[in-house]
Structures are given as structure tokens and as C-alpha cells.
Amino acid sequence: MKILVVYDGTVHAKRALRYGISQCAEKGGEVMLLSVFDRGLFVDYEAGLAAEDRARQEFLLRVQEAKTLVQEERTLVNVRYITADGDPDTIAAQLAGSEGADLILAPPRSKGLVKTSPVPVQVIPGTILIPVDNACAAPGTVEYVAREAIATASEVVVLGIVPVHIYSSSEKKELAAVKKRTADCVRRTKKLIHERGIPVTDAIRAGFPDEEILKAADIHDASLIILPAGSAVPSELSKAASVLLDEPHRLRRTLFLVPAETTA
């Protein structure tokens, strides 16, 4: 696994760096730590070269600060330091493509990368989207979501999905029962996450699951989507996961599949 961390010295960037190191330590891989000096900020700036020189010194201090942070993590993960001049988002997108990165971790000021990056982007802190259906989220899924939310200081959106396309006009009662059960599952899952002290909201959408998940991800600015993996009897959500994984150009976000044994 190769993770590119966009580092700007903010508290959020530090959290993203720690998170990236922990992910590579767990799954194996390398962290590329990118620090970019944006000279464009000083075009026509009244203070001129003196201000740019001071900003350059502060930039170099941030780079050193990042190296110190990595040392404090006492990690065996290989961290490669990359510095550049230019627009941070443009350079990050280009580097991710040329270096074959699997994921970009970025602070909120670089959330525009979600639309321009050739690889998935996870904004930290961000929003975690957890779609559920009438089968509810299993305890293992909720625990995983909670761990990720705490590690990235993210909020959670519990998204109820009602696959109306699989019901005919003669199955109105069945559809009504599914809608009610889905709403109950959303409330239960939201309550479990809220009890862990994590900011959480909810929403319900009806339609083709893959399409509704992407729409909700755009509306809520989600940076991570957590879905159930396939099982002996695939659900509409696991089918949606397969569709989204096959079409990464539509996804543009990190998608994690919870193992089947932890789903209901």
C-alpha cells in the first residue's frame, strides 16, 4: 500500500500523517509525505521578497516538524519526504499518478483533490458514510466505523438505502415494510454511534443503491464509505460495493468493505 499524505503543518495534517503511518503499519506499505511551498501566494504581494523568505523559512520548519513527528511515532514504516514549489493540490494529484499511490490523505483545505485526483482521496477530518439497509449494520461494522471516526476525528452519516427498483407495483406492502425496517435500522445504528461520543447524522434515500450512495457522498462531502462485503447471499449493498469498485472513476473516495462475518 502506498499512501500520499499532503502535509501543510496544520493539526489536521498531523492527524492525517499519523493515520497514514498506522494504516501502513497495519497493512504494509510506504508513506509519501508531500510538503508544498505555494509561491503563488506571493504574486503581487506588497511585502515582496522579504515576506516570501520568511514564509520559506516557516515552510522548512514545518518539514522538519513532520520529520520529528515521524520519529516520535517510532514506526518501522518507510516514510519518504517530498518537497516542491507550486500549487499543493495540482502537485499532489500529479505525484499520486506518477508514483502509483493507492490513496491520498489530505487536510480539509485540499478537499478539492476529491474531484481532480486520479486515485481515491480521504479528507481528514472528514465525513464517514455508512449505508445500511433493512438488515441493519452488524456490531462489527459499527465498531469499525467508530474506530475510524475516532482515529480521524471525523463525523458519521448513517445512510438508509431503500432499493425500490426490486419491488413491483403489486408489492406496495412489502416495500412499505422494507422502508419502515430500514428507518428503524438507521435509528438503531445512529444511536450506537452516538453513544460512542461521535457526531452523527442520518438520511434515507430510495433508488439504485450505487447511485444513491454516490449522490449522498457528494451531498455530505463524504471522504470514506464503509459497505458490507459479499456473502453467500449478496445484499443490494454488497452488490453496490462491487459496482463502485469496478468503476473507480465514479467513486473518487476511499471505499472499505467490512468482512462478511461482521455483517448482519
pLDDT 10s digit of each residue in the chain, 264 long?
Answer: 999 999 999 999 999 999 999 999 999 999 999 999 987 666 655 556 677 788 889 999 999 999 999 999 988 999 999 999 999 999 999 999 999 999 999 999 999 998 899 999 999 999 999 999 998 877 888 999 999 999 999 999 999 999 999 999 999 999 999 999 999 999 999 999 999 999 999 999 999 999 999 999 999 999 999 987 765 556 889 889 889 988 878 888 889 988 755 444
| Topology at the third CATH level for domain 127-262 | Rossmann fold (3.40.50)
Domain limits, the chain: 2-123, 127-262
C-alpha cell at 218: 457528494
Beta carbons of 188 and 144 less than 8 angstroms apart: no
Give the strands of the sheet with 2-6, arranged side by side: 78-85, 30-37, 2-6, 103-106, 121-123
Q: What is the pLDDT of residue 230?
A: 61
Q: What is the pLDDT of residue 182?
A: 96
Residue burial 107-134, b: 16+ Cβ < 10 Å; e: rest: beebeebbeebbbbbbbbbbbbbbbbbb
Q: What is the pLDDT of residue 55?
A: 86
Neighbouring CB atoms inside 10 A of 199's CB total 14
Beta strands in 30-142 (DSSP E): 30-37, 78-85, 103-106, 121-123, 127-132
Q: Which residue has the cell 499543493?
A: 88
Q: What is the pLDDT of residue 264?
A: 42
Gap between the Cα atoms of 168 and 156, Å rounded: 33
Gap between the Cα atoms of 90 and 259, Å rounded: 35
Neighbouring CB atoms inside 10 A of 103's CB total 20
Sign of CA dihedral 122, 126, 132, 137: positive
Q: What is the pLDDT of residue 48?
A: 60
The pair phi, psi for residue 216, each rounded to 5°, is: -65, -40
| Topology at the third CATH level for domain 2-123 | Rossmann fold (3.40.50)
Do the domains 127-262 and 2-123 match in fold? yes
Beta carbons of 215 and 194 less than 8 angstroms apart: no
Q: What is the pLDDT of residue 156?
A: 97
Q: What is the pLDDT of residue 233?
A: 58
Q: What is the pLDDT of residue 262?
A: 44
Q: What is the pLDDT of residue 232?
A: 55
Q: What is the pLDDT of residue 51?
A: 77
In the chain, the amino acid numbered 261 is E
Gap between the Cα atoms of 29 and 43, Å rounded: 38
Q: What is the pLDDT of residue 42?
A: 65
Neighbouring CB atoms inside 10 A of 225's CB total 26
Neighbouring CB atoms inside 10 A of 104's CB total 29
